[in-house]
Structure 1
Amino acid sequence: MQRDPEMWEEPNRFEPERFEVTLEEKEGVKFIPFGMGRRACPGSTMGMRAIMLAMAGLIQCFEWERTGQEMVDMTPVVSMSMVKAQPLEAFCKPYGSMANLFSQL
């Protein structure tokens, strides 16, 4: 699909801008970086587990606070992935027990 001459002009030429999706486009998603089905990326499961482990470490080791008093804006943007309209800004500081551990690193 990524090099289908019926879908792309000059399919073997490197043009990353062809994958930009606008709100007016109704053709659907053309770019599937990790594939699907039998030929899907064999490392996708490992990647998801690595992300989960990293997130668990951040949640377990740090105390998180909002930068202001307003609630976090969770408004999504139309995109290939779940993207927030306003990026999350937060303060973090290590828990007391973790501060000792981090000072030894």
Structure 2
Amino acid sequence: MHRDPQMWEEPNRFEPERFDVALEEKEGVKFIPFGMGRRACPGSTMGMRAIMLAMAGLIQCFEWERTGLEMVDMTPVVSMSMVKAQPLEAFCKPYGSMANLFSQL
């Protein structure tokens, strides 16, 4: 599907703009990162767990703050993944106990 010449002009050319969320809304879903059915990626579960582990590390090791005073807009965009209409912007700094650990790396 990702290299189908009936769906894409020059299907073998790398163009990340193809998978823009706005394009998804107009033309329907054309990007399925792990595939589906019998040919689905056997490593998808491991990939999802690796992402969750990375996110847990970021949450556990850093203190996060909003860049502005306004509340975070949680309005979703219709998509295969959970995309927000307005991206989250935040500052992060390591917790004191983590700063010592990071300085030793």
Report if the CA contact (8 A) 1:23-1:78 is conserved: no
Aligned residues: 105
Structure 2 gaps of 5+ residues are: none
Q: Which has the larger radius of gyration?
A: 1
Runs of 4+ in 1 over 6 A off after TM superposition: 3-21, 23-27
1-10 or 57-66, larger mean C-alpha shift: 1-10
CA contact (8 A) 2:25 2:78 kept: no
Q: What is residue 50 of structure 1 aligned with on the other side?
A: 50
TM superposition score normalised by structure 2: 0.72
**Deviation for aligned residue 1:97:** 0.4
The TM-score normalised by the length of structure 1 is: 0.72
Kept in 1: contact 2:24–2:30 (CA 8 A): no
The farther-off stretch of 82-91 and 16-25 is 16-25
Identity fraction in percent:
95
Unaligned ranges ≥5, structure 1: none
Say which structure is richer in helix: 2
Change (3 A) 1:68 1:27: closer
